[in-house]
Amino acid sequence: MDKHGQPGLYGAWVIRVTDEIGEHFYKARDLSIEGITLQTEKCPPPPVGDLIDLRLLVENEDQAVSLNGEVVRHIDDEQFIVRFLALDQDQRKFLQDVISKWD
């Protein structure tokens, strides 16, 4: 829960589609309908331009959604931005619901 007692954004499991090198967990830092900022802990961010599959987790896996994205920017050595690709109606609704509770 966040400071207002709302469900918290937890993080995302990410699989690099570009070269399929394993699956890594990243903490979520910021979320919008267009994309997400993720923070690494033990491994470097995927390269800019990599296509990824991610499973966005809310409140310690109580809620989850699978999304496709592209790494569009590195903020620093530990944070990177993913732009969501081709969201369907259910994915868009899930994100809107999470964003409305998280704000």
Which domains, and CATH codes, for the chain?
A: 9-86 (2.40.10.220)
CA distance 67 to 23: 14
Amino acid code (one letter) for 73: R
pLDDT of residue 21 exceeding 70: no
pLDDT of residue 33 exceeding 90: yes
pTM reported for the whole predicted model? 0.82
Alpha-carbon torsion angle 91, 61, 55, 46, nearest 10: 140
CA distance 38 to 98: 16
pLDDT for residue 102: 64
Number of separate helices (H) and strands (E) present in the chain = 1, 6
pLDDT of residue 70 exceeding 90: yes
Q: Which residue pairs from 65-68 have beta carbons closer than 8 angstroms and sit at least 24 positions apart in sequence?
A: 65/90, 65/91, 65/94, 65/95, 67/91, 68/17
pLDDT for residue 2: 40
Q: How confident is the model at residue 20 (pLDDT cuts 50, 70, 90)?
A: low
pLDDT for residue 60: 53
DSSP helix/strand/coil, 11: strand
Top-confidence residue, 42 or 102: 42
